[in-house]
Amino acid sequence: MTQHTDLLLPGTLWDRIRERTDHALETGALQPIPTECEVVPDEGIDFQVRVAPSLDQKIAEMRAQREKEAAGERFDPFARPEPDLYLGSLTPSHYALLNKFPVLEHHLLIVTWGYEDQQTLLTHPDFTAVDVVLSEVDGLVFFNAGPTAGASQPHKHLQLVPLPLSDGASRLPVDALLEPDRLPEKPTRAPGLPFPHAACRVDFRHQTSEQLAEVFYELRRELGIWYEDAPYNLLATRHWMMLVPRARERFEGLMINALGFAGGFLVRNRDDLEQLRSIGPMRVLRGVSE
């Protein structure tokens, strides 16, 4: 493995994220997607739904990239990280990069230096990088295992968004039913959540990266997810970890990634918002995971 000499010093990640964000906004390298946020209550969760009229452009770029890859013209934006978005190495195997098109402020990508496919299972080195990030930033780490789970890039990467997801919210919307304080340390199904999942309590302050990787293994075992390219979403905070199997990328035309299971949706326009209200966010989550 190539050794990278630009490892971020302990305790500097949050300052580095803010400094690089300001710089990338000035240079135009960072292109935030403007949104309006509305709350859509459903089955005990106040879902945060963000309407992004410019999302169609991002979707068109994703489709164009997939078409090129299907024609044998693979382009990997993570092979040479864009300098204005690059923060530095988190570990010898992973680096930190700002999401070029963030919906949420300070959205961070946790990327493998060497190419690994997004559908390969998470490993101990992945959780070492997660441990570094969550030790310094109180946030939600999530992983979309392949296109069926909402991944838009084939190069393996996890993501982090700082908490809270919106002003005035002290916790994630899903916490209302997940009830993290009541979760056991062994994988279980939270009684209030109606979609397939396994969840358990963790403590990133006192658990090693090896132990976190073992928790992931136990969640997989609970759900029977054994094969390498199984689609799933992983969500983790400093206090809990949850795994959700995926059956399909979208439901009734609405595309979902891991953030949906945290209680956050992104839609293209008001028509999509009204469709989501009509169907119900929880039914959409069941529809992509059952």
Positions marked active-site: 157
- Largest Cα–Cα separation, the chain: 52
| Phi and psi at residue 221, to the nearest 5° | -60, -40
Q: Contact 214/186 with Cβ under 8 angstroms?
A: no
Q: Strands 240-245, 198-201: parallel, antiparallel or unpaired by DSSP? A: antiparallel
Contact residues for 97 (Cβ-Cβ < 8 A; gap 6+): 78, 81, 82, 85, 86, 87, 108, 109, 111
The residue with tokens 């991944």 is 151
